[in-house]
Amino acid sequence: MWEIINKIMYGTVETVAESKLKNVILTTHLPPAMLPVEMFQKNCKILFLVRDSRDVSVSLFHRFKGCKIENYNGPWDNFLMFEYIEHWKLFLQQKPDIPLLVVHYEDLKKRVSDFLKILLEASTVQAIDANVDFHEEMKKNIFKDEQFSIFRKGIVGDWENHFTDAQSEAFNARFQERMNKSRFLSIYA
């Protein structure tokens, strides 16, 4: 996401290191309580990238299973969770005026450029797409070694290959219950 946002902000497909940065972009997996308080005091714009929680669960499961450092041997059922989004849900209840855009993975480039008020030519969007293609990133995966890999498949809907009907029903019910009246109740529900 960091790479995509930089390319949108600077209207270029060159690497950010080659461009002149005007704004700082922080990409993180941290919950709000662990982020710099200045982010919220200065009313910084926040882009919250949402993937289908079922796909996130599958990705996390495979990441832990394949990571020799973690040495995880537990069951698949342990990965049906929502804790990360819960942190943000609580935070947004306390600070509802924070400028936050919830972006679904599938809508990333268009919605981000609109939120940042940046007009992009269709050719620039296509160039960004080509430049940050998942499979191209996977080929140059700098994190890939025998103990750890950050990439797996990069497809939407892989959860359907893992969830049983019962797990899917339970997950959907729990998702509706926990995300009700939240900005995170999404197209995936």
Residue 105 resides in a domain: yes
Distance CA 179, CA 189 (A): 9
Residue 170 resides in a domain: yes
Summarised one tens digit per residue, pLDDT across range 120-158 is 677 776 676 666 555 566 566 555 555 555 566 667 788
Residue 28 resides in a domain: yes
Residue 58 resides in a domain: yes
User: Has this prediction a pTM greater than 0.85?
Assistant: no
For the ranges 15-24, 52-61, 87-96, 150-159, the lowest mean pLDDT is seen at 15-24
Show the tokens assigned to 78. 């342990």
Residue 107 resides in a domain: yes
Residue 187 resides in a domain: no
The CA dihedral of 57, 59, 60, 63, to the nearest 10 degrees, is 160
What is the number of structural domains in the chain?
1
Which domain, by its residues, includes 140?
2-179
What CATH number is given to the structural domain containing 25?
Answer: 3.40.50.300
